[in-house]
Amino acid sequence: MTPRFAAAAIVGVLVGTLFTSTQAQAASLEPDYVRTSYDGTIYEVTDDDVVPLSFEKWSELGFPTFTAAPTVFQKVLTFPTVTATTEFARAEATISDAITWQEYQAAGFPAVGTLAWGPSISVYKWGTSQQLFAQDDAGDIIALTFSQWSGAGFPAFAAREGRGFVRLSWDTTGGIAYLCDTSTGHGGRLTYEQWTRLGSPTPYTVTRTANDTVWRIFGGVQLSYVGAMNLVYDPNAGLEPGFSNRAIAFDEWRAMGSPAPENQIPAASSDLRCQPGASTPWE
């Protein structure tokens, strides 16, 4: 009889093992539920997929318990965009979202790491400076330091030759103009907001720009300066006048190099707006 009891015991062990294995397999087929802190989305995670749930779907499932999704928050250099990256290890999937300030606040103001570089960033320089700029896919622009550029592995840059930013050495108003064509002097004066959106580029200091002129108003003694610096830069204002002048003092005229005044405005100076189709400083 002993062998029979032994056999029965072995069968019992085998049945128990099979039952436990089946339970484990069933458990592994059950989905996990995780929630991203910044936007409150609940995801159903399986071995094969990650599915965001609507409130209605979560309700239909009986409001299953969820855990916090493992999310890291990062930004590239000094760009303002913060990206939340969530890894779903079970499904071998990753989701990245650029988040708003409200979403960052909802996440509890988590620490934000800084990356040396990121995808979809373009680098360029202007024809008026050796300064490098980087632009991300959100359209934000920053000036790159040498250490930032080298830390990113010296990414290639495009040269935007024939255009850039200038200031007049004798102009005490401190204006900065964008010249869409430095060879013809076409362009216009930037607002402070425009200049900062462009990454606050350092202007090239000059005494004059191409096709500017000093005009002796109606043959009198008063001198007036005509140039792109007098025009408001607005790439969308096709109906704005292309001519503007301002009175200059004798010392300003001398600082310009004492150019011979014109009694009539030359044709080349009469419309110094950027012409239709000219590249804006954002492209």
pLDDT tens-place string over residues 117-170: 998 899 999 999 999 999 999 999 999 999 999 999 999 999 999 999 999 999
* Predicted local confidence at residue 238, as pLDDT: 53
User: Which pLDDT band, with edges at 50, 70 and 90, does 11 fall under?
Assistant: very low
For the cut 70, the answer to whether the pLDDT of residue 26 exceeds it is: no
When pLDDT is averaged across residues 178-187 and rounded to a whole number, the result is 95
283: pLDDT strictly greater than 90: no
Q: What is the per-residue pLDDT for 122? A: 95
* Averaged pLDDT score across all residues of the chain: 88
Residue 242 has pLDDT above 70, yes or no: no
**pLDDT at position 244 over 50:** yes
Of the pLDDT bands very low, low, confident and very high (cuts 50, 70, 90), residue 17 is: very low
**C-alpha distances in Å from residue 4, one per residue of 10, 12, 13:** 10, 12, 14
Nearest CA-CA partner of 78 in 107, 40, 121, 18: 121
Q: What is the pLDDT of residue 12?
A: 43
12 half-sphere exposure, CB direction, 13 A CA radius: 6
More confidently predicted of 7 and 152: 152
Q: What pLDDT does residue 144 have?
A: 96
pLDDT at 13: 42
87 by Cβ neighbours in 10 Å (0-12 / 13-18 / 19+) ranks as middle
| CB 90, CB 105: distance < 8 Å | no
Rounded CA-CA distance 9/12 in Å is: 5
Distance between CA atoms of residues 50 and 85, nearest Å? 14
First to last CA, the chain: 92
- Give the per-residue SS3 of the chain: CHHHHHHHHHHHHHHHHHHHHHHHHHHHHCCEEEECCCCCCEEEECCCCEEEECHHHHHHCCCCCCEECCEEEEEECCCCCEEEEEEECCCCEEEEEEECHHHHHHCCCCCCEEECCCCCCEEEEECCCCCEEEECCCCCEEEECHHHHHHCCCCCCEEECCCEEEEECCCCCCCCEEEEECCCCEEEECCHHHHHHCCCCCCEEECCCCCCEEEEHHHCCCEEEECHHHCECCCCCCCCCCCCEEECCHHHHHHCCCCCCECCCCHHHCCCCCCCCCCCCCC
Residue 28: pLDDT band (50, 70, 90) is low
Distances (CA, A) of 206 to 125, 167, 174, 237: 19, 6, 12, 26
- pLDDT for 85-110, tens place per residue? 999 999 999 999 999 999 999 999 99
pLDDT exceeds 90 at position 2: no
Using pLDDT thresholds of 50, 70 and 90, give the confidence band for residue 240. low
* Token output for 126: 């202007």
Query: Greater confidence, 25 or 151?
Result: 151
More confident residue, 32 or 217: 32
Q: What is the pLDDT of residues 265-282, one digit of tens each?
A: 899 998 998 888 899 999
Task: Check whether 19 has a pLDDT greater than 70.
Answer: no
Domain ranges of the chain: 31-115, 119-161, 163-283
Whole-angstrom distance, CA of residue 24 vs CA of residue 46: 15
Burial (Cβ within 10 Å: 0-12, 13-18, ≥19) of residue 113: exposed
Range in 172-186, 213-227, 235-249 with the lowest mean pLDDT: 235-249
